[in-house]
Chain A
């Protein structure tokens, strides 16, 4: 898993093509997954959400989970947008507090996208858990972006 930058993603993917094949494939499908994550976020940007330029991504097998830690502030609202490029894959994203309690106000899935929204009850550390529920592929590329509202 690695942080990704949107503006440089094409350059990153091109560069990866000259590296080992596996790395190139990972770059490519994480890159595509990121496009979907931003696609999921776009309608929210139009509604006044500030979408961060930073992104995180990787690949997972079916049933696998990964957690990304986040510092969230009480007083803001946040939405995490998860995208994949794998047709037919179902992903899920959920947010837990430091005690491991489900903390999101809602989460849902729409095709290649999954969402989790939270209005933190306290300022502090949260865990954003990404999960591949099912997929026709052995490995499923995913990317996560988030936005907040003032």
Chain B
């Protein structure tokens, strides 16, 4: 051992004690930090409900990425004919509509259809204006158009994801979190409509497993049940609650073994409800 400066014998007993305490503390911290390896099994019941209530809602491109690997989906067919959705006079409806349009954006990116992506980027802005969050998504909308022109698809995916987060944040700042939840829900419904269409067109258990999303169905159901009486009283919100109640048993079954009939039924349910969301918009 190399000593620099004062020799150990010259250190006062108090300093020695302090140094030993510091070393012991450091070892304790280091011991804890490198500690035991993570538990191989945990009891999830140990976590109080409030610690597990936060849910990571995936973006459509997470599930679309897997679909792409499992085959060659016809994304253009999923997009359908080009259509712009104008705002309605109902902010809840517009929030849901915005979610479906953002999901369309993810589909258009998979289809690598830059014109559709640009149209959708502009439509996002129109609908954002209707729910008072235009300012928050202007930059995103411009960036979507610019990156679609450059065919930078991963960058466009990030911009649509960012648009969703910006809308959520802006609505939270306006104390409109419930409308933000409707945006997410609209996106999930439209994404699931496209997913079930693709799985239904070429069924495999691996593709169908992508629908095993009980966490999300439960999460959205809980969000709807906690909404204000004014929002819960809206016909479209009631329709969606009933739709989620119908979807829930279909996707919970058999640990993800979702049969072709169930896929078709989920598709029917989500198509109907997305149709209703969009019906007032023209």
Hey, which bits of chain A sit against chain B, CB under 8 A?
Answer: 1-3, 5-8, 11-12, 15, 50-54, 56, 65-76, 88, 90, 92, 94, 96, 98-102, 107, 109, 122-125, 127-129, 133-134, 146, 148, 150
Contacts and interface: CB of A to CB of B under 8 A. Distances in A.
Contacts of A53: 158, 161-162, 164-165
A121 B218 CA distance: 22
Contact of A76 (B54, B56, B65, B256): B65
A102 B213 contact: no
Interface string B25-42: 000010011010011111
B1 interface: no
B42 A100 contact: yes
B35 to A, nearest CB: 6
Contacts of B69: 75, 150
A101 B214 contact: no
B62 interface: yes
Given A69-B215, A75-B69, A50 B158 contact: yes
Contacts of B164: 53-54
Interface string B169-209: 11001000000000000000000000000000000001001
Interface stretch (B13-21, B44-52, B259-267): B44-52
Contacts, number: 147
Contact of A74 (B35, B58, B209): B209
Contacts of A8: 136, 166, 169-170, 173
7 residue pairs, one from A and one from B, having the closest CB atoms: A75-B66, A90-B33, A5-B169, A150-B65, A70-B56, A125-B215, A8-B169
B42 A129 contact: yes
B61 A50 contact: yes
A67 B51 contact: yes
21 contacts: A3-B54, A8-B166, A50-B154, A52-B161, A54-B56, A56-B54, A68-B55, A69-B53, A70-B55, A70-B58, A71-B55, A74-B209, A76-B66, A90-B29, A100-B43, A100-B44, A123-B209, A123-B213, A124-B215, A127-B47, A146-B56
A71 B166 contact: no
B210 A123 contact: yes
Contacts of A94: 38
Nearest to B219: A69
A108 B209 CA distance: 30
Nearest to A4: B169
A69 B55 contact: yes
